[in-house]
Structure 1
Amino acid sequence: MTTPRDTPVSRRTRANGDGTIYQRKDGRWEAAGYVLAPGNTRRRVRVYDTTRKEALAKLTEKIAASNRGLPVPSAQGSVAAYLTYWLENVAIHHLRENTYTRYTAVAGLYLIPGLGRKKVAKLTAKDVRTWLNQLRTTCQCCTRRLDAGRDKPRCCAAGNCCSKRLSPLTLAYVHSVLKSALEHAVREEEIPRNVARNVRIGTPRPRRFEPLTAGEARQLLAAAQGHRLHALFELALHTGLRKGELLGLRWEDLDLDAGTAAIRRTLQRTAAGGLTTLPTKTRASERRIALPTRCVQSLKLHHEQQKREREAAGTTWQHDGHVFTTAQGRPIDPTNLTRAFITVLHKAGLRRIRFHDLRHSTATLLLEQGVELVVIKELLGHAHIGVTATVYAHVRLRLQRDAINTLSTALGSPETAETASGDGDEPPPCAALVR
């Protein structure tokens, strides 16, 4: 009598709903079963691996996801259908709310209108390249009928095309969203390769910024004297913290006796939750930084000021531990901080810059003072030192030029070299002085 144990593993009977598994003639194992598909339908999926155990694990994972109500996308479906599945069932669980909102906007404005009707399985690199080239050269005002939505058309709808094209940075962002979606399709073994990765669009130039000089930074701090957020502007210029990191600071994060601050969270406004406290941008952004003595003193004065505001507000005070708040103790909206910053800029007589340019100003001034790149990377909370090196490449290039000019002076005529080296007891300078 034959028992189940005597039956070959490839022929064992599996329970209903568990699917089937068998070994192919080429030696690979194939497992197949029915799972939930978009549109509340069911379809049969097949997975493959070199061992029975791995093939069965893959099938079990897909069936378990199906039992939880998560539909499995079909490569035979359209790009539009797959993007909708990916956004609603995958991206929403792995992205911040604001990032997810941008991904959804990119899909609705560019990906679905341009590639939505094509089949995911039949999408080629040529299709993606042709679409990107068309997107690069097409006026978005004409395509999206932006001017037609105005009360009084003044360009495209009036017959005068404004040639509103996507910037290289926006084009690269649209391309990256498509790559992310197709990469997930590859991981789910719906398509063999990510064709969007085979398309090169070139590296866009980084956004230009105008950091403050040391003199302008002093002007800004002088103009901020007496402002209720003076400590915030001083902390921003001395540490390079992001706007959300500054607004997300709590008193429990500060050790004013030791002169340190723990950066653990960021404050952002989201469409669903309003002002929301979130974890830092990346793991590297969660860090502990040293505070200059000047900032420690300003924060102590700010704490005393906050106590007076609390007494003045009385029962209307709503404080949850934030360092920088409104006069009623509520968290400060990032947009309101921007308005206050522009007011201080105007008072100081400085050109208009973004608040984020204070962060760039900190890094630029530190580089010009000869601070090591790795120290700046840790202070700013960049994930990789390559990010710091790339963003501030122009500053390093200028410092290199100054150093080379200094060396050129030292290697010039004997008289010049003697003048540069003084009495000859000191070594020649290796970097230009920053004034």
Structure 2
Amino acid sequence: MTTTPRDTPASRRTRANGDGDGTVYQRKDGRWEAAGYVLAPGDTRKRVRVYGSSRTEALAKLTEKIAASNRGVPIVTAQGSLAVYLTYWLENVAVHHLHETTHTRYTAVVAQYLIPGLGRKKLAKLTAKDVRTWLNALRTVCQCCARGTDTRRSPQAQASRRPRCCAIGKCCRKRLSPLTLAYIHSVLKSALEHAVREEEIPRNVARNVRTGTPRPRRFNPLTSDEARQFLTAAQQHRHAALFELALRTGLRKGELLGLRWEDLDLNTGTATIRHTLQRTNGSGLTTLPTKTISSERRIALPASCVASLRAHRARQAKERQQADTNGIGSGYVFARPDGRPIEPATLTRHFNALLRHAHLRPIRFHDLRHSTATLLLEQGVELVVIKELLGHAHIGVTATVYAHVRLRLQRQAIDLLNHTLSVMPEPTAEPDDGDDPPLCAAPVR
């Protein structure tokens, strides 16, 4: 007769001192199981079970769930829908581990794609086939028609922009890019991975679905001639020091705007990158930690940047005196005349205007960072040095992003080797005076 956990001896199915409101016992397979009641969605109580290799481990997991329940955090179980779990994950888990900007993007992905496509599925019954079918639909369906973007536009927007899709019954065939699909897939994998860690599901089915490696996003770095033209045009701009620092060091836009004078040592010519300035939905324009731990770094400043920063600081002090701002926001290196930080969107407008003034092709501000790395690679600078300058987490990131540059350098090296091997030196004929003995093979022992 098959035994169940209730058939186990009482000595193995007891509640010892310190077990609280839970029951801890050892299963027939040797693992320990702990069960107790916690708060569930809808202000209800639900019995949950956790497992561990020892009594202490199982009890610790149950205690953690009960403690979270006592704080008012509902415990989502695998029997609930994926939509309920994703909402719980965003509000109680991801919010504590992600930057605010990243959490905002995750929330948008969940609301626009995951919940409409898979939200009704039970978390415990979600399969890899469900995920694959949903991703294939995202890949082939026009997103404008699927979400009714064209028909939901306000009358003012429709007046300024002619309807071109579902509003007139003609599909515009707007498809998601492979990079966007990969990002949506990664958000789902992150959510399900946490469900596995909490032992709500046995495995992460999203990891069993292969979407392929998308091609890196193409960018348009400046050539060496265009870079010199850009720097010449920027000399008369109020933010000349910012544009020069961006092109010569490859700092991100947020890192430039978040830079403070206390982060600079102009005597030694170094800068310490600690913060980034971002606009978020919840906090507005705020200073955040760097993108990754590796992004927090110390870099060397070119001599030309040190000179331009000194001139910029002197001009900034005169602006503060004229504006009489009483030191508002005076810590920022690049700020508005009143000392307040610069909006990232405002900097983008200044940058685009400078490109038009310099008669250069339109590029993104982030392409200045790519221009720095590309020009350094073409000058033969080692990849590890560029990785440290840009603040990449791994050298593989640098190698992947700039693979096309390395390929071009390889082509140049191969062509140089081919030229060397093709031009063979002509042998010099020396007159034989007959004095040297004839060549013969020496025996080898």
TM-score by length of 1: 0.92
Quote the Cα distance in structure 1 between the aligned partners of 2:355 and 2:63.
61
2:74 corresponds to: 71
Which stretch shifts more, 121-130 or 93-102? 93-102
Superimposed CA distance per residue, residues 285-329 of structure 1 (whole angstroms, 9 cap, x where no aligned partner)? 000000011100000000110011111111476233000011111
| Structure 1 residues 88-136: Cα deviation after superposition (integer angstroms, max 9, x where no partner) | 1111111112111111111111111110111000000000000100111
1:2-21 pair list within 5 angstroms: 8=11, 10-13=13-16, 17-21=20-24
Alpha-carbon contact 2:12-2:26 (below 8 Å) kept: no
Query: 1:383 maps to which residue?
Result: 393
Equivalent position SS for 1:30: strand
Correspondence list, 1:105-184, <5 A:
105-150=108-153, 151=155, 152=158, 153-184=163-194
The unaligned stretches of length 5 or more in structure 1 are 1-6, 419-435
Q: Do residues 302 (structure 1) and 275 (structure 2) align? A: no
Structure 1 residue aligned with 2:3: none
**What SS is found at the alignment partner of 1:158?**
coil
Find out whether 1:252 has 2:262 as its counterpart.
yes
CA distance in 2: counterparts of 1:9 and 1:160, whole angstroms = 69
Are 2:36 and 1:33 aligned? Answer: yes
From 94, 99, 124, the counterpart of 2:97: 94
What is the identity, as a one-letter code, of the residue corresponding to 2:38? V
- Residue 161 of structure 1 aligns to a residue whose secondary structure is coil
Determine which of 315, 318, 337 is the counterpart of 2:328: 318
| SS at structure 2 position matched to 1:99 | helix
In structure 2, relative to structure 1, the CA distance for the partners of 1:16 and 1:246 (3 Å cut) is: closer
Amino acid aligned to 1:84: T
Provide Cα deviations, 1:30-80, integer angstroms capped at 9, x if missing partner.
111111111111111111222111111111111111112221111000111
Local SS of the residue matching 1:320? coil
Rounded Cα–Cα distance in structure 1 between residues aligned with 2:384 and 2:427: 33
Cα drift, residue 357 of structure 1: 0.2
Paired AA for residue 114 in structure 1 = G
Distance in 2 (CA, whole Å) between partners of 1:386 and 1:244 is: 23
Counterpart residue type for residue 221 of structure 2: P
> Aligned to 2:341, which of 316, 328, 331?
331
In the alignment, structure 1 residue 198 sits paired with structure 2 residue 201: no
Change (3 A) 1:79 1:417: farther
With 309-318 and 49-58 compared, the bigger mean Cα shift is at 309-318
Is 1:396 matched up with 2:406?
A: yes
For 1:49-64, list aligned pairs within 5 A.
49-64=52-67
Listed as ranges, the matches of 1:398-413 within 5 Å are 398-413=408-423
Structure with the greater alpha carbon radius of gyration? 2
Report how far residue 273 of structure 1 moved: 1.5
Deviations 1:152-191 (A, max 9, x none): 4332221211011111111111111110110110000000
Distance 1:55 1:315, change over 3 A: closer
SS at match of 2:389: helix
Q: Distance in 2 between matches of 1:224 and 1:416?
A: 54
Instruction: Find the aligned partners of 1:343 and 1:98 in 2 and give their Cα distance.
Output: 27
- Residues 1:17 and 1:54: Cα distance change in structure 2 (over 3 Å): closer
Q: Identity across aligned pairs (percent)? A: 74
CA distance in 2, matches of 1:47, 1:276: 41
SS at match of 2:221: coil
* 1:300 aligned partner, one-letter code: R
99-108 vs 149-158, which moves further? 149-158
2:248 is paired with a residue whose SS is: helix
Answer yes or no: is the 8 Å Cα contact 2:15–2:22 preserved in 1: no
Q: Residues 390 and 277 of structure 1: is their aligned pair in 2 closer, same or farther, counting only changes over 3 Å?
A: same
C-alpha separation in 2, matches of 1:291 and 1:70: 49
Deviations 1:363-392 (A, max 9, x none): 000000000000000000000000000000
Q: Which segment drifts farther, 367-376 or 17-26? A: 17-26
What's the CA shift for 1:10? 4.7
How far apart, in 2, do the equivalents of 1:339 and 1:317 lie? 26
Q: State the AA in 2 paired with 1:90.
A: V
CA distance in 1 between counterparts of 2:35 and 2:239 reads 63
Q: Read off the aligned partner of 1:338 and give its amino acid letter.
A: T
1:348 aligns with 2:351: no
Which amino acid is the alignment partner of residue 109 of structure 1?
Q
Name 1:215's counterpart in structure 2: 225
Match of 1:358 in 2: 368
Q: Is the 8 A contact 2:230 2:358 kept in 1?
A: yes
Select the residue among 263, 280, 285 that pairs with 2:295.
285
Measured after TM superposition, the shift of residue 12 of structure 1 is 4.6
TM-fit CA distance, 1:83: 0.7
Q: What amino acid is the match of 2:373?
A: A
